[in-house]
């Protein structure tokens, strides 16, 4: 089933912060954040076992337990099994994601993209999420940022294992759709070129944002649109860099990135629009994009995201960005303001 037929609206909820991403989020604040999303009308929630070693799924499951299950869509990920066994969190090798979830649960995380692990991962997620079904399953992080030179070997394990399992689950109605959930364009390119697997779409984090979209625009978006698949855009604010934060891609932003942010902000300020509106509306202007899922760690962020989606942005703003060379000339831009 096409992602656009499954997803209820253009704005979803990225649950990574619920796994204590970057900070120890109090239980009440995590619960209030999910409640704020629900009260705002958001009905698509994306999660993963990796987010705090199951913590984000547990928190989201508790927060949504009293909501009618037919009224919302859940996506989660496969590729990581969370064990009952405890490990030294500081000794985890998480590639570029280093200390992102050091405040999460200390349960041992095992990377496993086999067929058997895909089934086990879905079963475990169902328990943590307190639900009887998952709508969309993404194969998580089979890319360079996590596995370095080993990423192709991990991709091959998924090709022989998880991809087949998820095709079968989708055909049997256990899930409605599957694809990759990655922070890099290359694994999506690779999967689109394979003849066997039949993915329904992709969650692409950080690679189709105002600050970084060239490669996705050239290599992935046209193929996805051509095949009638869809992209869910994660990280539309580039780890917060676009909205004035210090990080880009889980690490301190470089001077070049900070300069680009300043140049975009100068134009945004001149037109009286918010950087969040620029980021969200840019991503959604591409016809391949089915939804965008900013991560929210505080209840107040939800209202900001909704306001950004609804904000009137003059077409002159987009023209100015293009004329200044701040967006790719081929990038689709919103035409109404």
For the stretch 303-324, pLDDT in tens is 999 999 999 999 999 999 999 9
Report which secondary-structure segment, H or E, holds 323.
helix 315-323
Percent of the chain topping pLDDT 70: 98
Give residue 100's pLDDT: 84
Q: Active-site residue among 46, 124, 200, 212?
A: 46
Give residue 297's pLDDT: 83
As a whole number, mean pLDDT of residues 81-89 equals 92
Q: Active-site residue among 44, 45, 77, 124?
A: 77
pLDDT, mean over the chain? 95
Structure-token pair, residue 304: 């900001």
pLDDT tops 80 at residue 64: yes
Give residue 96's pLDDT: 62
pLDDT band at 216 (very low <50, low <70, confident <90, very high): very high
pLDDT tops 90 at residue 148: yes
Q: What is the 3-state secondary structure (H, E, C) of 224-292?
A: HHHCCCEEEEECCCCCCHHHCCCEECCEECCHHHHHHHHHHHHHHHHHCCCHHHHHHHHHHCCCCEEEE
Give residue 337's pLDDT: 39
Q: Which range, of 22-31, 82-91, 109-118, 157-166, averages the lowest pLDDT?
A: 82-91
> Do the Cβ atoms of 145 and 136 come closer than 8 Å?
no
77 classed as catalytic:
yes
Give residue 251's pLDDT: 81
Instruction: For residue 270, count CB atoms less than 10 angstroms from its CB and return exposed for 0-12, middle for 13-18, buried for 19 or more.
Output: exposed
Give residue 93's pLDDT: 74
* Closest CA relative to residue 29, chosen from 40, 38, 20: 20
* Closest CA relative to residue 52, chosen from 11, 9, 6, 97: 97
DSSP reduced 3-state for 233: strand
Give residue 98's pLDDT: 61
As a whole number, mean pLDDT of residues 91-101 equals 73
pLDDT band at 95 (very low <50, low <70, confident <90, very high): low
CA 178 – CA 172 distance, rounded (Å): 13
pLDDT band at 1 (very low <50, low <70, confident <90, very high): confident
Higher-confidence residue: 161 or 93?
161
- Give the model confidence (pLDDT) of 258-290 as tens digits: 999 999 999 999 999 999 999 999 999 999 999
Residues 6+ apart with CB under 8 A from 230: 2, 3, 4, 7, 200, 201, 202, 224, 288, 289, 290, 291
Task: Write down the pTM of the prediction.
Answer: 0.96
46 classed as catalytic:
yes
pLDDT tops 80 at residue 192: yes
- DSSP string spanning 50-118? TTTTTHHHHHHHHHHTTS-GGG-EEEEEESEEEEEEE--GGG---GGGTTTTTTS--EEEEE--SHHHH
> Do the Cβ atoms of 162 and 100 come closer than 8 Å?
no
pLDDT band at 97 (very low <50, low <70, confident <90, very high): low
Beta carbons within 10 angstroms of residue 326's beta carbon: 14
As a whole number, mean pLDDT of residues 81-110 equals 85
pLDDT tops 70 at residue 240: yes
CA 77 – CA 136 distance, rounded (Å): 8
Structure-token pair, residue 8: 């209820």
CA 98 – CA 84 distance, rounded (Å): 22
Q: Active-site residue among 44, 51, 119, 250?
A: 51
- Give the model confidence (pLDDT) of 119-130 as tens digits: 999 999 999 999
Structure-token pair, residue 135: 């709508």
Structure-token pair, residue 54: 């199951």
């Amino acid at each position: 089933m096409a992602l656009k037929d499954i997803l209820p609206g253009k704005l979803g909820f990225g649950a990574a912060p619920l796994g204590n991403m970057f900070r120890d989020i109090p239980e009440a604040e995590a619960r209030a954040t999910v409640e704020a999303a629900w009260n705002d009308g958001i009905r698509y929630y994306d999660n993963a076992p990796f987010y705090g070693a199951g913590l984000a799924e547990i928190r989201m499951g508790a927060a949504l337990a009293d909501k009618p299950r037919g009224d919302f869509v859940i996506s989660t990920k496969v590729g990581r099994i969370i064990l009952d066994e405890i490990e030294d969190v500081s000794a985890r090798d998480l590639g570029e994601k280093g200390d992102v979830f050091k405040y999460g649960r200390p349960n041992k995380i095992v990377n496993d993209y086999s067929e058997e692990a895909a089934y086990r991962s879905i079963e475990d997620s169902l328990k943590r999420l307190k639900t009887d079904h998952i709508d969309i399953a993404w194969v998580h992080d089979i890319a360079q940022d996590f596995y370095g030179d080993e990423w192709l070997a991990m991709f091959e394990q998924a090709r022989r294992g998880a991809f087949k399992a998820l095709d079968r689950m989708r055909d049997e109605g256990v899930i409605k759709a599957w694809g990759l959930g990655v922070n890099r364009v290359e694994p999506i390119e690779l999967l689109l070129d394979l003849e066997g697997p039949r993915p329904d779409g992709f969650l692409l984090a950080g690679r189709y944002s105002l600050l970084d979209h060239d490669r996705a625009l050239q290599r992935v978006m046209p193929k996805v649109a051509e095949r009638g698949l869809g992209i869910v855009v994660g990280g539309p604010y580039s780890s917060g860099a676009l909205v004035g934060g210090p990080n880009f891609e889980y690490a301190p932003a470089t001077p070049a990135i900070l300069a680009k942010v300043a140049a975009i902000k100068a134009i945004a300020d001149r037109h009286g629009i918010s950087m969040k509106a620029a980021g969200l509306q840019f991503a959604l202007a591409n016809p391949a994009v089915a939804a965008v899922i900013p991560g929210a760690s505080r209840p107040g962020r939800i209202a900001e995201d909704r306001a950004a989606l609804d904000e009137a942005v003059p077409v002159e703003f987009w023209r100015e960005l293009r004329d200044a060379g701040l967006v790719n000339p081929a990038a689709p831009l919103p035409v109404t303001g």
